[in-house]
Amino acid sequence: MNWNTALPLLIVGSSLLPGLVIFFLAEKRVAVRITLNLFGAVLKLVLVGVMLWGVFHGEHYEARLPLLPGLDLVVRAGPLSMLFVTLSTGLWLVTTIYAIGYLEESPHRSRFFGFFSLCVTATVGLALAGNLITFILFYELLTLATYPLVVHRGTEVARLAGKNYLFYTVGGGALLLIGTVWLYTLTGTLEFTSRGFVSGLETSHQPALVIIFVLIIAGLGVKAALLPFHGWLPQAMVAPAPVSALLHAVAVVKAGAFGIVRVLYDVYGIEFAASLGVTLPLAVIASATIIYGSIRALYQDNLKRRLAFSTVSQVSYITLGVAIVGPIATVGGLLHLVHQGVQKITLFFCAGNLAETLGIHKISMMNGVGRRMPWTMTAFTIGAFGMIGVPPLAGFISKWYLGLGAMQADQDWVILILAGSSLLNAAYFLPILHTAWFKAPPDSWLLERDFGRRETAWALLIPPLVTAGLTVLLGLLASAPFTPLEWARFFANQEYLQ
């Protein structure tokens, strides 16, 4: 086995092996658990950096393991997979640091961090999947790994949310599997290829391909929180803040959106999908989800639920971008895959800080909290402005490319969706900022001895400051080498200029 074969397996294993060891650690082995967590996260980041450099310079990384007759387990690196792998790996490191601080005194930490590691293993595995069967295996592993995290608190509400989560995701997985098996009977292959592997089928198969597309997109749409499959996501907010951050920014919803991109480009081929007439309905569903999620967010007083409905809206930008069919819109959608993740994880980190430090869970309880926790609320403000699309932050860059792509593809109606969504984003984020910064804080906060000195633990404060800084830098330095914009263009050029 040479280095180019071993590296993808090492990247997957760098979180799998520490996670399996953590399961068997006693709760009191805090130092060992922290060391394993951080070692795995840092090692994965280094290995991904090496692979990123190699892919950019034309190196081919692929590993194949026998799975079924005629089907291998394949992990392979490419521009699209590296975009998602880099996002997941980078944010996993900051989430690990945050989770260590957040769960410092909690029970069942070994169980939590064991499944936490399995979750990122599944995410990276599906990102590197070289065929549809490999994608499905890691996709379902992600469901199994995240369920214990959702129900971690063990309350009745958490168990109900977990049951609902399984109902949606297992049902979605079944639809995905049915569509995949049907597809395999028609094509005899599930290998991801540029321009798709189904486009060469005879015209007589096209009605079946449309039905298969609907099944697969419905299965992926559950995790991507597309209408009407979004109901599990707001309920899952009973999970601890690090889990919420993981669900919204790194793993589950991104896995669904990433899967939709894969199906459009590497299974059907974007031009063939458009010829089947399935891309415009998908764009309409994504647009409806964008507006619906934003409207529902307006009426949530619970901060995490408002952020959850914001995710329902914002993740659908990714689907909308690729469904518009055009290189510039594709760049915008893929950019939002990264930019939304960085911004949303910032917001959930800050929401966790408010809950953990001051017991604040509702927006109506946030009067003057910016004076009590200025650094946390500064990070939250940057993340919120990024979500609205205020220049020069990261969210503005992705929305700009989505708008340009819509005009290039003669889909001017998309501009109205983007403008309406941004106005709704402002309508549900700006009142939070006004409450936090301009309303008078409770007298009890003003009387605290450490007021203005130490707002929360460093392990909870540093991660949102880092991701808020990234929100600024990804906007200001968008055209620099190795940025998400560079990689999104790299992928779009391969797909549209060949």
Taken as a whole, the chain contains a residue count of: 498
Phi, psi of 456 (to 5 degrees): -165, 180
Angle (nearest 5°) at CA 144 between 142 and 150: 95
Secondary structure element (H or E) that encloses residue 463, with its range = helix 458-476
Of 488, 323, 480, 497, residue with least CA distance to 398: 488
Say what the pLDDT of residue 71 is: 85
**Residue 196 identity (one-letter amino acid):** G
- Does the N-terminal peptide bond of residue 391 adopt cis geometry, omega within 30 degrees of 0? no
Phi, psi of 106 (to 5 degrees): -85, 155
| Tokens found for residue 39 | 């070692």
Q: Is the dihedral of CA 463, 464, 467, 469 positive or negative?
A: negative
Q: Please, which residues have CB within 8 angstroms of residue 495's CB and are 6 or more apart in sequence? A: 194, 195, 265, 270, 327, 330
CB 317 within 8 A of CB 210: no
Say what the pLDDT of residue 300 is: 93
Say what the pLDDT of residue 11 is: 93
* 3-class secondary structure, 71: strand
Q: Please, which residues have CB within 8 angstroms of residue 141's CB and are 6 or more apart in sequence? A: 118, 121, 122, 125
Q: Please, which residues have CB within 8 angstroms of residue 154's CB and are 6 or more apart in sequence? A: none
Angle (nearest 5°) at CA 20 between 338 and 152: 70
How does pLDDT run along the chain (498 residues), one tens digit per residue?
A: 688 888 999 999 988 888 888 888 777 777 888 888 888 889 999 999 999 999 988 889 999 988 888 788 999 998 889 999 999 899 989 988 988 888 777 777 778 888 888 989 999 999 999 999 999 999 999 999 888 888 877 778 878 888 888 889 899 999 999 999 999 999 888 999 888 888 777 676 788 999 999 999 999 999 998 988 888 888 877 777 777 777 767 778 889 999 999 999 999 988 899 889 999 999 999 999 999 999 999 999 999 899 989 999 999 999 999 999 888 999 999 999 999 999 999 999 999 999 888 888 999 999 989 988 899 999 999 999 999 999 999 999 999 999 999 999 889 899 999 999 999 999 999 999 999 999 888 776 655 544 445 678 888 899 999 999 999 999 999 888 878 888 888 888 776 655
Instruction: Give the residue carrying structure tokens 């005194």.
Output: 105
CB atoms under 10 Å from CB of 31, counted, come to: 8
CB 312 within 8 A of CB 428: no
CB 381 within 8 A of CB 330: no
Say what the pLDDT of residue 404 is: 93
CB 412 within 8 A of CB 326: no
DSSP assignment of 164-183: HHHHHHHHHHHHHHHHHHHH
Of 305, 303, 307, 315, residue with least CA distance to 340: 315
Instruction: Give the residue carrying structure tokens 């990234």.
Output: 470
**DSSP one-letter code for 265:** I
| Tokens found for residue 466 | 């880092």
| Tokens found for residue 146 | 């995240």
Q: Mutual orientation of helices 458-476 and 374-388 as an angle, nearest 10°?
A: 30
Secondary structure element (H or E) that encloses residue 66, with its range = strand 62-68
Phi, psi of 76 (to 5 degrees): -145, 145
DSSP assignment of 247-260: IIIISHHHHHHHHH
Burial (CB count within 10 angstroms: exposed 0-12, middle 13-18, buried 19+), residue 75:
buried
CB atoms under 10 Å from CB of 35, counted, come to: 12
CB 56 within 8 A of CB 482: yes
